[in-house]
């Protein structure tokens, strides 16, 4: 399988990208094959926070992340409701656990009807328990975590979570509470602009579920005040933000996306990825001989900026790939990608080629972000090991 990908890369990418010496050092390290590994003695949990406005567990980003970290076997804890287990939001893979922060809702659905508050409101979330449990988990303790059942809107019997080397907490408020925020080793924010949110909702709720335009507009409007008050401000604290905007390449094109990877400067063990030349301003339209793109084309940008008061560097991709295999051409112009071998970014994108966003910047930057997180995790693990040695 991997060999096939390698050879197809060579075939389509041509000689300019894969030199023989680079090919010789092409040695995929595979993390799959190990069974669900609990924390080894002395090993620390690396805790990653992902803020997103969507439901937990099912997101493509989690699939991309866990695929890179933890091999192939990603699934619900206990096998999930359909697999004879319980209704869970927790995903486990070989060395990763993904916890949905909805599990720390303060009230069930009926309770929220009484308070008349949305789940976006911090009052509807139990940050004390969230902090206590994530802190315990980080210290290597097993926890008994509540479950918010999204099907029935109930708070179900808690489930047991064992610490794994990587724990990802995904949800609305990973960076809201300062105690929880301080536990995080790295944080991400998936920032979908209102225009794109609207276009996606129209596609799903109107075209697929038959809702009216007015009701979609109303539901977005109803959510917006709480969203702006409680969720969006977390962007200030995110180490990496993936921003999804409408394209600037064509007018009235609601399908094509402009996606920006906003990387905070000065974060320990995280050196931002860059295009061509670190610190410069780049505007790059690679379409032509080496990358085939149809209208409206592809445009990359790179440069420095400030974001919520922080110095950041930004890589941007506007447009879609026609042929995913040619991505290796773009990859060859990126530095600090945290890949382990040449072509790994392209290979990983090809592995999940059928997943939503694989032909545009959302998939591209989610994959890139996953590599950066893997790198950070490995640096921290190595430093921790060195510390243990000194102590011993």
What's the min distance (Å) between Cβ of 321 and ligand NAG? 9
Half-sphere exposure of residue 246, counting CA atoms within 13 Å on the CB side?
A: 13
Pair of tokens at residue 129: 């328990």
- Pick the stretch among 145-153, 159-167, 280-288, 338-346 that binds ligand NAG (CB under 6 A): 145-153
User: Do 298 and 288 contact (CB within 8 A), yes or no?
Assistant: no
**In whole angstroms, what is the distance from residue 118 CA to residue 139 CA?**
32
Check residue 378 for interaction with ligand NAG (CB under 6 A).
no
Rounded-to-integer distance, Cα 216 and Cα 202, Å: 7
Measured on CA atoms in the order 170, 175, 181, 185, is the torsion positive or negative?
A: positive
Q: Which stretch binds ligand NAG (CB under 6 A): 124-132, 176-184, 231-239, 357-365?
A: 357-365
Closer CB to ligand NAG, 45 or 257, in the complex: 257
Taking the complex as a whole, how short is the minimal distance between the CB of residue 253 and ligand NAG, in angstroms? 9
Q: How far is the CB of 65 from ligand NAG (least distance, A)?
A: 14
Q: Which of 187, 234, 313, 362 binds ligand NAG (CB under 6 A)?
A: 362
- Is 255 an interacting residue with respect to ligand NAG (CB under 6 A)? yes
Round to whole Å and give the CA distance between 91 and 107.
23
The region of 182-190, 305-313, 327-335, 354-362 touching ligand NAG under the rule CB under 6 A is 354-362
Q: How far apart are CA 279 and CA 260, in angstroms?
A: 16
Residue 158 makes CB contacts below 8 A (sequence gap 6+) with 144, 145, 146, 147
Q: Which two tokens stand for residue 344?
A: 């790994």
Residues in contact with ligand NAG, total (CB under 6 A)?
14
Query: Does the footprint of ligand NAG cover residue 79 (CB under 6 A)?
Result: no
Contact predicate 275/333, CB 8 Å: yes
Residue 2 Cβ vs ligand NAG, minimum distance, rounded to whole Å: 25
Interacting span for ligand NAG (CB under 6 A) from 35-43, 65-73, 249-257, 264-272? 249-257
Query: Contact positions toward ligand NAG, by CB under 6 A?
Result: 81, 87, 149, 151-152, 255-257, 320, 356-357, 359-360, 362
């Amino acid at each position: 399988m991997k060999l096939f990908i390698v050879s197809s890369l060579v075939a389509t990418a041509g000689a300019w990208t894969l030199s023989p010496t680079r090919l010789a050092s092409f040695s995929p390290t595979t993390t799959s094959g190990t069974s669900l590994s609990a924390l080894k003695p002395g090993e620390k949990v690396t805790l990653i926070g992902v803020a997103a406005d969507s439901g937990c567990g099912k997101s493509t980003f989690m699939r991309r992340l866990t695929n890179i970290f933890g091999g192939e076997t990603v699934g619900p804890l206990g096998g999930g409701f359909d697999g004879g287990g319980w209704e869970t939001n927790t995903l486990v893979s070989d060395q990763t656990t993904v916890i949905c922060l909805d599990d720390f809702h303060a009230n069930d659905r009926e309770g929220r009807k009484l308070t008349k508050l949305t789940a976006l409101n911090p009052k509807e979330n139990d940050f004390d328990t969230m902090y206590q449990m994530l802190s315990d988990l980080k210290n290597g303790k097993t926890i008994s975590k509540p479950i918010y059942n999204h099907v029935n809107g109930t708070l179900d019997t808690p489930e047991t979570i064992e610490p794994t080397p990587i724990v990802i907490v995904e949800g609305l408020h990973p960076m809201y509470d300062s105690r929880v925020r301080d536990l995080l080793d790295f944080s991400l924010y998936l920032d979908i602009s209102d225009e794109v949110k609207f276009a996606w909702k129209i596609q799903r709720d109107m075209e697929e579920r038959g809702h009216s335009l007015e009701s979609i507009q109303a539901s977005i409007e109803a959510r917006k005040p709480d969203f702006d008050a409680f969720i969006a401000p977390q962007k200030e604290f995110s180490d990496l933000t993936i921003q999804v905007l409408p394209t600037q390449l064509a007018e009235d094109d609601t399908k094509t996306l402009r996606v920006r990877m906003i990387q905070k400067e000065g974060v320990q063990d995280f050196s931002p990825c860059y295009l061509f030349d670190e610190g410069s301003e780049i505007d790059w339209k690679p379409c032509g001989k080496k990358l085939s793109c149809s209208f409206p084309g592809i445009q990359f940008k790179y440069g420095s900026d400030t974001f919520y008061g922080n110095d950041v560097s930004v890589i941007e991709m506007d447009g879609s790939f026609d042929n995913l295999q040619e991505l290796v051409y773009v990859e060859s112009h990126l530095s600090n990608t945290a890949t382990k071998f040449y072509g790994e970014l392209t290979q990983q994108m090809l592995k999940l080629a059928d997943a939503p966003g694989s032909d545009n910047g959302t998939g591209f930057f989610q994959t890139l972000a996953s590599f950066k997180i893997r790198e950070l995790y490995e640096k921290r693990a190595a430093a921790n090991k060195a510390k243990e040695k000194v102590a011993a």
